[in-house]
Amino acid sequence: MATALSLSDAVNRVEPSATIAVTTKAAELRSAGVDVIGLGAGEPDFDTPDHIKEAAIQAIRDGKTKYPPADGLPDLKEAISAKFQRDNELSYTTDQVHVAPGGKPVIYNAFVATLNPGDEVIIPAPYWVSYPAMAALCGGRPVPVACGANSQYKLTPDALEAAITPRTKWLILNSPSNPTGAAYTAAELKGLADVLLRHPQVWILTDDMYEHLVYDGFTYTTIAQAEPALYDRTLTMNGVSKAYAMTGWRIGYAAGPAELIKTMRKVISQTTSNPCSISQYAAIAALNGPHDFLEDRNAVFKTRRDMVVAELNKAEGLSCDTPEGAFYVYPSCAGAIGKTTPSGQKIENDSDFARELLETEAVAVVMGAAFGLSPAFRVSYATSTEALSDAMLRIQRFCASLS
Ligand code: GLU
């Protein structure tokens, strides 16, 4: 008889990713013939632009199929360095740049490189599901800080000050945010920076993955740009997944102090070898290539955002703010909690809400519990306008059916 598998304490500290679970469930239902509308996946429905695909095809033809350097091709690092200068007024040399197979491994490599048991990671909630999980897997202690609708889902200087302890190692910022779409202005970042300047032990990991997805003329700023005195302890992370519709290609990157980047290189050299060579050539084309397609795509996203917010606010028991960016909204479902479905199911929390919505109307959303701020749910509007309209009708019908 086989010995029972005994799991690590680290893995026992975390749950599977809820965003991936919901996306997988929607795909399964669809292939089983259910007319499901997936608002769970955080990925653009647009295709990767042709000039990027062509660069990848050319790289294959040119035989760029061998091991590249562990943490990124020199040409990609140059392109990333130029991007930070161009978009964020930040100067990084190529030895300050780390490339990994997606944003997740970048964060994971940084945490493995720096966290000791008990080190605290401040995470404004609602947060992307994987921040606390990755901190916990690396032995750190996630410290969620509730940031509700009254602060537009943003961390305030007072809340940050109250959360910092001598054990605080990292603060995670994510602007525009997954799951709320909220983005910080330069003045708001400066307010946080003033607190951070008083606590030199705190490093800042800023996840800028949705940088290019902002609407209504919002001016994007990242924290090391808002406060250059934080440059020496900020890891500025980004990637090609969202802006260039390249989720499957898996290229994330970050820039920061050379010592940290060197240590992250040690981690990736032992765990991954390198991000895919072909994807890296595609990423070079993305970063160095034309960006005019973004304007058209953002116009579509903005129209969808406005439609989704208006329609969600018409649903009984829901209320939804209009965020600055990303392709998510995070409606509160407080008004539905405590109600009962026509089949007699009591809605006790947002997990019940999301489950019953999927069961009865075949609309997949991610429950707020996964993001650490309830009762709410995340809607990704990175899906066709037609499917979104249908989904909104179904959500309204579901909410109206509750008593
Ligand atoms: N970041 C996307 C999301 O939140 C993709 C899935 C994941 O990596 O969590 O849906």
Domain boundary among 250, 265, 288: 288
Domain boundary among 288, 323, 341: 288
Q: Which residue has the tokens 């901190």?
A: 135
pLDDT in tens, 281-320: 999 999 999 999 999 999 999 999 999 999 999 999 999 9
Residue 283, in any domain of the structure? yes
Percent of the chain with pLDDT over 90: 98
Mean pLDDT, range 32-47, rounded to an integer: 93
Q: Which amino acid is at 325?
A: G
Is 139 found in the same domain as 23? no
Peptide bond into 144 cis (omega under 30): no
Cβ of residue 41 lying under 6 Å from some atom of ligand 1: yes
Cβ of residue 351 lying under 6 Å from some atom of ligand 1: no
Query: Which residue segment(s) compose the domain that 311 sits in?
Result: 9-47+293-401
Distance 42 CA to ligand 1 centre (A): 5
pLDDT in tens, 146-203: 999 999 999 999 999 999 999 999 999 999 999 999 999 999 999 999 999 999 999 9
Query: Is 3 a residue whose pLDDT tops 90?
Result: no
Distance 241 CA to ligand 1 centre (A): 10
Is 197 found in the same domain as 132? yes
Is 364 found in the same domain as 348? yes
Tokens at residue 261, please?
């980047």
Q: Report the greatest alpha carbon distance in the chain.
A: 64
Q: Is 250 helix (H, G, I), strand (E, B) or coil?
A: coil
Which residue from 14, 106, 130 has its CB within 8 A of the most atoms of ligand 1, so it is best to mutate? Answer: 130
Question: From CA 244, how far away is CA 236, in angstroms rounded?
Answer: 18
Backbone angles phi, psi at 27, to 5 degrees: -65, -40
Question: From CA 229, how far away is CA 128, in angstroms rounded?
Answer: 27
Residue 384, in any domain of the structure? yes
Distance 240 CA to ligand 1 centre (A): 13
Beta strands in 270-365 (DSSP E): 328-329, 363-364
- Position 215 scores a pLDDT of 98
Cβ of residue 20 lying under 6 Å from some atom of ligand 1: yes
Is 350 found in the same domain as 204? no
Length of the chain: 403
Is 275 found in the same domain as 320? no
Cβ of residue 365 lying under 6 Å from some atom of ligand 1: no
Give how far Cα 157 sits from Cα of 104, 169, 176, Å.
Answer: 27, 17, 18
Is 260 found in the same domain as 380? no
Is 328 found in the same domain as 227? no
Is 166 found in the same domain as 266? yes
Nearest atom within ligand 1 for CA of residue 366: 10
Is 383 found in the same domain as 312? yes
- Position 2 scores a pLDDT of 78
Question: From CA 132, how far away is CA 370, in angstroms rounded?
Answer: 10
Which residue from 128, 180, 328, 367 has its CB within 8 A of the most atoms of ligand 1, so it is best to mutate? Answer: 128
Is 297 found in the same domain as 284? no
Tokens at residue 110, please?
């940084």
The pTM of the full predicted model, rounded to 2 decimals, is 0.96
Query: Are 39 and 62 in contact, with CB atoms under 8 Å apart?
Result: no
- Residue nearest (by alpha carbon) to ligand 1 atom 2: 42
Residue 395, in any domain of the structure? yes
Nearest atom within ligand 1 for CA of residue 128: 4
Distance 104 CA to ligand 1 centre (A): 9
Beta strands in 175-212 (DSSP E): 203-207
Backbone angles phi, psi at 206, to 5 degrees: -105, 120
CA trace torsion 206, 208, 209, 213 (10° rounding): 150
Mean pLDDT, range 248-269, rounded to an integer: 98
Mean pLDDT, range 43-64, rounded to an integer: 97
Query: Are 311 and 329 in contact, with CB atoms under 8 Å apart?
Result: no
Cβ of residue 241 lying under 6 Å from some atom of ligand 1: no
Query: Is 1 a residue whose pLDDT tops 80?
Result: no
Is 364 found in the same domain as 249? no
- Position 41 scores a pLDDT of 86
- Residue nearest (by alpha carbon) to ligand 1 atom 10: 42
Whichever domain contains 95, its CATH number is 3.40.640.10
Give how far Cα 216 sits from Cα of 213, 298, 322, Å.
Answer: 11, 10, 11
Question: From CA 194, how far away is CA 237, in angstroms rounded?
Answer: 21
pLDDT in tens, 312-363: 999 999 999 999 999 999 999 999 999 999 999 999 999 999 999 999 999 9
Residue 88, in any domain of the structure? yes
CA angle 19, 305, 254 (to 5 degrees): 55
Which residue from 178, 209, 247, 367 has its CB within 8 A of the most atoms of ligand 1, so it is best to mutate? Answer: 178
Query: Are 196 and 204 in contact, with CB atoms under 8 Å apart?
Result: yes
Question: From CA 52, how far away is CA 73, in angstroms rounded?
Answer: 16
Is 165 found in the same domain as 133? yes
Report the DSSP pairing between strands 363-364 and 97-100: unpaired
Distance 19 CA to ligand 1 centre (A): 6
Higher model confidence: residue 176 or residue 43? 176
Nearest atom within ligand 1 for CA of residue 102: 8
DSSP string, 222-242: -HHHH-GGGGGGEEEEEESTT
Tokens at residue 239, please?
């990637």
Question: From CA 114, how far away is CA 128, in angstroms rounded?
Answer: 20
Domain count of the chain? 2
Domain boundary among 272, 288, 304: 288
Cβ of residue 130 lying under 6 Å from some atom of ligand 1: yes
- Position 73 scores a pLDDT of 98
Cβ of residue 42 lying under 6 Å from some atom of ligand 1: yes
Residue 52, in any domain of the structure? no
- Position 242 scores a pLDDT of 96
Distance 342 CA to ligand 1 centre (A): 32
pLDDT-derived band at 59 (thresholds 50, 70, 90) equals very high
Residue 324, in any domain of the structure? yes
Whichever domain contains 373, its CATH number is 3.90.1150.10
Residue 62, in any domain of the structure? no
Cβ of residue 174 lying under 6 Å from some atom of ligand 1: no
Which residue from 14, 15, 17, 19 has its CB within 8 A of the most atoms of ligand 1, so it is best to mutate? Answer: 19
Cβ of residue 21 lying under 6 Å from some atom of ligand 1: no
Nearest atom within ligand 1 for CA of residue 41: 10
Residue 143, in any domain of the structure? yes
- Position 134 scores a pLDDT of 98
Beta strands in 102-209 (DSSP E): 120-125, 141-146, 168-174, 203-207
